[in-house]
Amino acid sequence: MKETVLSVLDSLMEPDESSFYNDSIVHYSVLEQDEAGFTPDKIRFNKDSGSCLQLIAKTGDSVSTVGNPQS
Protein backbone atom coordinates (compact mmCIF):
# COMPACT_ATOMS: atom_id res chain seq x y z
CA MET A 1 0.00 0.00 0.00
CA LYS A 2 2.82 2.42 0.86
CA GLU A 3 4.36 1.95 -2.60
CA THR A 4 0.98 2.61 -4.24
CA VAL A 5 0.49 5.90 -2.41
CA LEU A 6 4.03 6.97 -3.29
CA SER A 7 3.38 6.06 -6.93
CA VAL A 8 0.26 8.22 -6.97
CA LEU A 9 2.10 11.17 -5.44
CA ASP A 10 5.04 10.72 -7.84
CA SER A 11 2.67 10.69 -10.81
CA LEU A 12 1.44 14.15 -9.79
CA MET A 13 4.88 15.65 -10.50
CA GLU A 14 5.81 16.89 -13.95
CA PRO A 15 9.30 18.26 -14.72
CA ASP A 16 9.22 21.91 -15.76
CA GLU A 17 11.64 21.95 -18.69
CA SER A 18 11.21 25.70 -19.21
CA SER A 19 12.72 26.38 -15.79
CA PHE A 20 16.40 27.16 -15.27
CA TYR A 21 16.35 25.12 -12.06
CA ASN A 22 15.23 21.51 -11.60
CA ASP A 23 11.69 22.62 -10.79
CA SER A 24 8.60 20.50 -11.11
CA ILE A 25 4.94 21.29 -11.63
CA VAL A 26 2.86 19.46 -9.04
CA HIS A 27 -0.78 18.67 -9.82
CA TYR A 28 -2.32 18.66 -6.32
CA SER A 29 -5.87 19.10 -7.62
CA VAL A 30 -6.01 15.33 -8.20
CA LEU A 31 -5.94 14.83 -4.42
CA GLU A 32 -9.06 16.98 -4.04
CA GLN A 33 -11.09 15.24 -6.73
CA ASP A 34 -14.00 12.96 -5.94
CA GLU A 35 -14.25 9.40 -7.29
CA ALA A 36 -15.68 10.74 -10.57
CA GLY A 37 -12.81 13.21 -11.03
CA PHE A 38 -14.68 16.41 -10.20
CA THR A 39 -12.93 19.12 -8.18
CA PRO A 40 -14.71 21.02 -5.37
CA ASP A 41 -15.33 24.04 -7.62
CA LYS A 42 -17.55 21.98 -9.96
CA ILE A 43 -21.32 21.65 -9.43
CA ARG A 44 -21.22 17.87 -9.90
CA PHE A 45 -18.61 17.43 -7.12
CA ASN A 46 -19.78 14.84 -4.61
CA LYS A 47 -18.63 15.96 -1.16
CA ASP A 48 -19.55 12.57 0.27
CA SER A 49 -17.27 10.77 -2.18
CA GLY A 50 -13.77 9.75 -1.21
CA SER A 51 -10.56 11.01 -2.81
CA CYS A 52 -8.57 8.91 -5.25
CA LEU A 53 -6.23 7.84 -2.44
CA GLN A 54 -9.21 6.71 -0.36
CA LEU A 55 -10.48 4.76 -3.36
CA ILE A 56 -7.14 2.96 -3.66
CA ALA A 57 -7.18 2.18 0.05
CA LYS A 58 -10.71 0.75 -0.18
CA THR A 59 -10.04 -1.42 -3.23
CA GLY A 60 -6.54 -2.49 -2.30
CA ASP A 61 -5.92 -3.13 -6.02
CA SER A 62 -2.92 -0.96 -6.84
CA VAL A 63 -2.25 -2.59 -10.22
CA SER A 64 -5.56 -1.71 -11.84
CA THR A 65 -5.98 1.61 -10.03
CA VAL A 66 -2.57 3.14 -10.65
CA GLY A 67 -1.20 3.00 -14.16
CA ASN A 68 2.18 4.08 -15.40
CA PRO A 69 1.80 7.76 -16.36
CA GLN A 70 4.99 7.61 -18.44
CA SER A 71 3.72 4.93 -20.84
- Report the percent of the chain where pLDDT is more than 90: 3
pLDDT for 55 equals 72
Please state whether the predicted TM-score (pTM) of the whole model is above 0.75.
no
Sign of CA dihedral 65, 38, 29, 32: negative
- Would you list the DSSP string of 3-58? HHHHHHHHHTEEE-TTSSSS-EEE-THHHH--TTS--TTSTT--TTSPPHHHHHHH
pLDDT in tens, 30-40: 778 888 888 88
Give domain limits for the chain.
2-16+23-63
pLDDT for 43 equals 93
pLDDT for 1 equals 63
